Amino acid sequence: MHHIYHTHGFILGSRNKGEANKMLTIYTREMGLVRAMVQGIRLHKSKLRFSLQDFSYATIDLVRGKDIWRVTSAKNISSFPFARTSRSSLLIIVHVSSLLERLCDGEESNEKIFDDFTQVLYLLDDMNIESSAREALELHLVLRIMNSLGYIGDSLKLSDYLGGSIDLNRTELLLKEKRSIISHINKAINESQL
């Protein structure tokens, strides 16, 4: 009998496998980055196809197989409908998803990254969000991801943005430091050699 792992996860992306299966890349709260197979998800009768769309947030049950994880069940929490209809918000989600997939190595939990990421997703899922707020949220989130992964050193200039929760008022102040923050992020990405 296999142990079932219950987790919250965000679908960073997927690839078709065979005639009806998909391999999902999931960023989970408890296990970090997980790649898992979902059998029969591309069939019209599949109950999982709506819960496990790319860029959606769900509760997911996983079983560790001999070589790979398998999804046994899932329930959608949010597909972020307003963020999906905004090209700018969707691009942010795609960029951050790509960054997480690139920088997070295997099954290593980082609850801070997960919590920051989901918090920003909910903020982006507001149809009244302004473009400057979107830009600030992306900058703030990427800075915090890089810091959580250990790529941002001790900087007094950035310390105000690295703790606490992410809120739009504080995040907008970040735009005043935009050049410096982008410079720190680019330096961190270059030094990561990923």
pLDDT 10s digits, 78-96 = 999 999 999 999 999 999 9
- Assess whether 101 and 50 both reside in one domain: no
What is the extent of the structural domain holding 61? 4-78
**Measured between alpha carbons, how far is 35 from 41 in angstroms, rounded to an integer?**
15
Whole-number pLDDT of residue 24: 96
Whole-number pLDDT of residue 33: 94
- Assess whether 93 and 157 both reside in one domain: yes
DSSP string for residues in 77-95:
EE--HHHHH-HHHHHHHHH
Whole-number pLDDT of residue 79: 94
- Assess whether 107 and 177 both reside in one domain: yes
Which tokens hold the place of 86?
């905004």
- Assess whether 120 and 85 both reside in one domain: yes
Residues with pLDDT less than 50, the chain: none
Select from 29, 56, 78 the last residue of a domain: 78
Which tokens hold the place of 89?
């918000």
Whole-structure pTM value: 0.89
Residue 188 makes CB contacts below 8 A (sequence gap 6+) with 146, 151, 152
- Assess whether 66 and 90 both reside in one domain: no
Whole-number pLDDT of residue 194: 62
Select from 78, 108, 125 the last residue of a domain: 78
**Measured between alpha carbons, how far is 94 from 85 in angstroms, rounded to an integer?**
13
Taking Cα atoms as reference points, which of 96, 185, 162, 99 lies closest to residue 134? 96
